[in-house]
Amino acid sequence: MTNLILHADRLTKQYGATRALDGVSLTLAEGTATAIMGASGSGKTTLLHMLAGILTPDAGSVGFAGHPISALSDGERSKLRREQFGFVFQQGLLIPELTAGENVALALMLNGMSKRDALVPAGQWLAALGLAGLEERRIGQLSGGQAQRVAIARAQVTGARVIFADEPTGALDSTTSQDVMNALLHTTSGSGRTLVVVTHDPQVAARCQRIVTLADGRIVADTATGFPASGAAGTGAQS
């Protein structure tokens, strides 16, 4: 459980006069869930995108499983993102013209799998997230919570080792938020994967093992919640 998967060292990012990140260092252990909190504009999304290799820091570095991400070419970085990372955003960024099953399968098809083959694990992931029987529905025919579960399935179907979620429950009511968070935790830290989740919701954050709070681009608090990584014993689950 002390296996480090992500390591950020003194990250800074400046946008004009705004210092979005101001020397952020952070290490994340594999199989844990970490919440990133902080006021709007405190640098949460910037940090998430940097950890995920979407944004390059002005200074500092990010390491994934011991490899410096910043040293990779753009091509290598997108391959790393496609194969090792999964993303869930506030609005799932799902393709409305496609069915739930096709949306999930697409992540595998981008890695070269045929649609026919990809639909099999896609269906299994949808079932694992409580959406069995809804594979053929288009996204518009799903509730907000159901659509977020499709986004979670899509983020995980490739066997991603790290799931990055940016306010995944931000558009949901509180009961649905808890359901979606249950599904997200069960399939990430509950199965040996790593979750980094930006959230404004203290109830969501409290379910993670750790809460990192940002203010003005700096870490101002880093707290262990005492919440156990549910089912962390089964860390071999890397499909």
Ligand X SMILES: Nc1ncnc2c1ncn2[C@@H]1O[C@H](COP(=O)(O)OP(=O)(O)O)[C@@H](O)[C@H]1O
Binding test (CB under 6 A) with ligand X, winner from 11, 34, 44, 156: 44
**Residue 109 · residue 115 · CB < 8 Å:** yes
| Rounded Cα–Cα distance for residues 198 and 188 (Å) | 15
Contact call for residue 130 and ligand X (CB under 6 A):
no
| Of 12-20, 56-64, 103-111, 225-233: span binding ligand X (CB under 6 A) | 12-20
Instruction: Retrieve residue 232's tokens.
Output: 């962390």
- When binding is defined by CB under 5 A, the residue of 42, 45, 156, 177 that contacts Mg ion is 45
- Looking at beta carbons only, is 22 or 83 nearer to Mg ion? 22
Interface with Mg ion in residues 176-195 (CB under 5 A): none
Minimum distance of Mg ion from residue 51's CB (angstroms): 13
Beta bridge partners of 71: none
Residue 15 dihedral angles phi and psi, to the nearest 5°: -120, 105
CB of residue 179 to ligand X, shortest distance in Å: 24
CA angle (65 as vertex; 60, 66 as ends), nearest 5? 60
Radius of gyration of the chain from Cα atoms? 17
Q: How many helices (H) and strands (E) does the chain have?
A: 7, 10
Contact status: 221 vs ligand X (CB under 6 A): no
Instruction: Quote the tokens at residue 161.
Output: 């080792």
Q: Binder to ligand X among 40, 66, 116, 175 (CB under 6 A)?
A: 40
169 makes contact with Mg ion (CB under 5 A): no
Residues 6+ apart with CB under 8 A from 142: 100, 134, 150
Stretch that binds ligand X, among 43-51, 105-113, 154-162, 181-189 (CB under 6 A): 43-51
Binding of ligand X by 41 (CB under 6 A): yes
Q: Which is nearer to ligand X, 43 or 121 (CB)?
A: 43
Query: What is the binding site for ligand X (CB under 6 A)?
Result: 15, 18, 20, 38, 40-46
